[in-house]
Amino acid sequence: MRSTRLGRSGVAVTELAFGAAALGNLHTPVDDESAAATMDAAWEAGIRYFDTAPHYGLGLPESRLGRPLTGRPRGSFTVSTKVGRLLEPVDHPTGDDCAQGFAVPATHCRIWDFSADGLLRSIDASLRRLGLDALDVVYLHDPDDHLEQALSEGYPALERLRSEGVVGAIGAGMNQSAALTRFVTETDVDAVLLAGRYTLLNHEAIGHLLPAAARGTSVVIGGVFNSGLLAAPRPGATYDYAPASAPLVQRAVDLQAATERHGVALRAAALQFPFGHPAVTSVLVGARSADEVRDAAALLSQPLPTALWNDLLAAGHLPTGVPTPKRI
């Protein structure tokens, strides 16, 4: 699988990245055996970039990533995690974390903290859970309501860690493009991770973020299936973590009909679409089973005809002038 370096850093990532949120029991439990098999399948598929965060499953995916990776040569894979939410133990834990989307015991609470001290504490805890002695990439995670602290305190702390060689690359990860554009234009981040905002249904990032990033910042795209609507368009499907509106469902159904006229699964077009933009380095896909990993790898490798993208542009499914994939 092809690899590219993040921005001007020395950190390489594969074009298909493994998102570990599902291994944190996202919505429903995943047992340890299935989690291990999923990781093995990712490795066998050629994936060498693995992304996680303390927020996911209260740190569970970090432990589940770390166990199989510690048996691999350290220079053969890239791990990114995130900072901004500290996990504090609960004195008398009761219930679960399902309100936050994860079917795990509520043993910890999340504390927002983008201060330099908070970032150092978060990184130290992540390293312990991962069982690693260094992190390749660290993203400021969802600083929407803490943007000024993340820019004035969190980013400089990460910049120092990068200059000291403690981390290889730094960036920010969010579900919106406007704030990420600020990171790209006002700081020296190596990469940004954007979820759900550069897809076949949502082209928000084409306005400002991607043109700005094309000057030297790598963009990792997550959420290419828009929470499920582009994986299986139907009434009741989710979009941006909520039930999709009827007009959105119809747009997805129309996209599916258009791709299938070319013998292409909608999921394949959704996964490959972001690679049309030169700033996009990697697409991150979440998986909770070995079969889902193998499916994502197969979708990536499927040749898609240029006529498909031309038809999507002509029909108005994509904005005029949006760059489309020219994969060999």
Residues noted as catalytic: 56
Long-range contacts of residues 59-63, Cβ cutoff 8 Å, at least 24 apart? 59/24, 59/87, 59/108, 59/125, 59/126, 59/129, 60/23, 60/24, 60/25, 60/102, 60/104, 61/20, 61/21, 61/23, 61/24, 62/20, 62/126, 62/129, 62/130, 63/129, 63/130, 63/131
For residue 187, the Cα-to-chain-centroid distance in whole angstroms is 21
- Helices 306-314/246-260 angle, 10° precision: 140
Residue 184, SS3?
helix
* Consecutive H or E run containing 183: helix 177-186
Helices H / strands E in the chain, number of each: 11, 16
Q: Cα(196)–Cα(202) distance, rounded to whole angstroms?
A: 7
Look up residue 150 and give its DSSP letter.
Answer: I
| Secondary structure letter of residue 151 according to DSSP | I
